[in-house]
Structure 1
Amino acid sequence: MPHIYNEFTIEIATTDFESTKNAVAGGADRIELCANLGEGGTTQSYGVIKTCREKFDVSIYPIIRVRGGDFLYTDEEFDCMLADAINCKNLDCDGVVVGFLKANGEIDTERTARIVESVYPLGVTFHRAFDRCKDPREALEQIIGAGCERILTSGQQLTAPEGAPLIRELNEQAAGRIIIMPGSGVRTNNIKALADSTGCTQFHSSLREMVASKMKFNTPAFANDGESIRYSGIDPAAVAAFKKALA
């Protein structure tokens, strides 16, 4: 049976206030609010999270991550992330996005559960740290047990279309106990096929593109500097087209 369009949920990863505004304008159902997407996403500033929460009537899930790199954290790093997660609860966000692994590749269920308990009743998404775990099928059960509501995954491949067979298996194993949300490489030209092949109904994408700077002046030494003449942003029309591709 084909999916009904309004049964789908589109989550857009945004990097600042402007990209969030554009994603919401394009029809995003939920925002994963990050900084530094080039490093896989780190926690945005208190001010950005607060302003987005105040301005937008859409689900906002800030990522809770102190740095790029792996997902094995020191006690001090975890303390920082716990404090950030509680800040998000106090700001009335809808949920947070986390991911913790042990050195042996297993899910750090203790830390995951502690975040879930600390931010309750907010929702918790376990992010693509899942794609670096040793046994995804066992990890699925552990993440359910820890109380998360959703797993963001590319099926342990670089992109979700490549990992579609495992994503389908995980979705079948989940059997409605947790949401499996494909992400990474999910685009307008493949989201419908991914929905059909996996049976998933929630999808994640950043839809990032380079936006020209509106600066009229630039010092000569930086005339051709990429960071001075453009920055990463989101086009509302691209978000709308992404959603429409599921219709």
Structure 2
Amino acid sequence: MSVLVEVCIDSLESLPIAQAAGAGRIELCSSLATGGLTASAGYMKQAARISNIPVYGIIRPREGDFLYSSDDVEIMLEDIHTARRAGLNGVVIGALNADGTIAQDAVSEMIKAAGDLGITFHRAIDHCSAPFDALEFLMANDVERVLTSGLAKSANLGIETLKEMVSFTQGRLSIMPGAGVSPDNAKLIVESTGAHEIHLSGKTTRSSLMAYRNEKATMGNSDSDFDITVTNPDVIQRTINALR
């Protein structure tokens, strides 16, 4: 069985690294440290230009929960149009109601805005109070796949639910395990669940090339502004080899 490995990245630098390591698809994000936020228009456009594999852009306007205001939804709709204009292959979407059910109206608007782009529903499913009802809705609306940890902290811990999801969907959409996936557990997750795709970042850090450094000043919550997050090709390659 062939298993597609999707790699999530938050810099253009990581795209050719992931691609050369054998990634089958890219999830394009900014700020992986907050779970992944929408990439800028310029970032989307450059990624589409240099990639030889499909690129799906996450549409997530802020960190935190998936309960979005009408203004948030308008931002996401505009970002979906931006992804289309940039030449991306798909978008990664999700929204919930306050009671944890899928926000059908908002998600329907996003699906309509996506047009002929591919669609992944993201890990909002893992915060959903009725995940199998959500899967029914997504299948009825021709969503391609759902990225999920099986409602657990990691995909490895959510194996039983992931297996249920794969059985429930019967190939009408793809269940793509993600969260905590590594070369050490990818094969177990795939073989135990029957999934045909898997998702990871495989990230590491590299040192900044700055010669001058003022270590006293830092941006945000970072301990250092001189550690740059990038994809680790060794992790991606070892994951792919494990799945073979």
* C-alpha distance in 2 between matches for 1:69 and 1:56: 29
Partner residue in 2 for 1:218: 213
Structure 2 residue aligned with 1:19, among 8, 14, 20? 14
Match in the other structure for 1:65: 60
1:29 corresponds to: 24
Deviation at 1:219, TM superposition (A): 2.9
Partner SS, residue 205 of structure 2: strand
Q: Which runs of 5+ in 1 are unaligned?
A: none
> What is the deviation of 1:226?
3.7
Number of the residue aligned with 2:243? 246
**Number of paired residues?**
241
Q: Percent identity?
A: 34
Supply the AA of the counterpart residue of 1:149: E
State the distance in 1 between where 2:215 and 2:14 align.
Answer: 29
Specify the SS of the correspondent of 1:17: coil
Q: Does 1:77 align with 2:72?
A: yes
Indicate whether 1:124 and 2:116 are aligned.
no
Report the Cα distance in structure 2 between the residues aligned to 1:78 and 1:221, rounded to whole angstroms.
39
Is the contact between residue 116 and residue 147 of structure 1 (CA under 8 Å) also seen in structure 2? no
CA-CA distance at 1:84 after TM superposition = 0.4
Partner SS state of residue 151, structure 1: strand
Q: CA RMSD in A?
A: 1.4
* Whole-angstrom CA distance in 2 between matches of 1:34 and 1:82: 16
Other structure's SS at 2:27 match: strand
Deviations 1:153-200 (A, max 9, x none): 001001001000000000000001010000001111000011110000
What is the rounded CA distance, in whole Å, between the counterparts of 1:172 and 1:97 in structure 2? Answer: 23
In 2: Cα distance, 1:175 partner to 1:161 partner: 21
Q: Which residue of 2 aligns with 1:237?
A: 234
Q: Distance in 2 between matches of 1:244 and 1:75?
A: 44
Q: Does 1:96 align with 2:88?
A: no
Q: Secondary structure at the match of 2:234?
A: helix
Shift of 1:229: 2.9
Mapping for residues 1-20 of structure 1, pairs under 5 Å: 4=1, 7-20=2-15
Query: 1:43 maps to what in 2?
Result: 38
Q: Which amino acid aligns with 1:205?
A: L
| Paired letter, 2:240 | K
The alignment partner of 1:245 has SS state of helix
Is residue 169 from structure 1 mapped to residue 177 from structure 2 by the alignment?
no
CA distance in 1, matches of 2:63, 2:217: 27
Residues of 1 paired with 2:214 and 2:179: CA distance?
A: 37
Structure 2: runs of 5 or more not aligned = none
From 220, 225, 228, the counterpart of 1:228: 225
Q: Is the 8 A contact 1:112 1:146 kept in 2?
A: no
Amino acid corresponding to residue 237 of structure 2 in structure 1: A
Q: 1:45 to 1:101 in 2, by over 3 A?
A: same
Q: How does 1:136-175 map to 2 (within 5 A)?
A: 136-175=131-170
Worse overlay, 66-75 or 139-148: 139-148
**Residue 203 (structure 1) aligns with:** 198
- For 1:124, the aligned partner's letter is I
Match of 1:181, SS state, is strand
Task: Please give the per-residue CA displacement for 1:70-90, whole angstroms capped at 9, x wherever unaligned.
Answer: 001111110011000011112
**Per-residue CA distance 1:7-46 (angstroms, 9 max, x = gap):** 2111000001001221112111000000111111110111
Which residue in 2 is equivalent to 1:193?
Answer: 188
1:180 match: secondary structure: strand
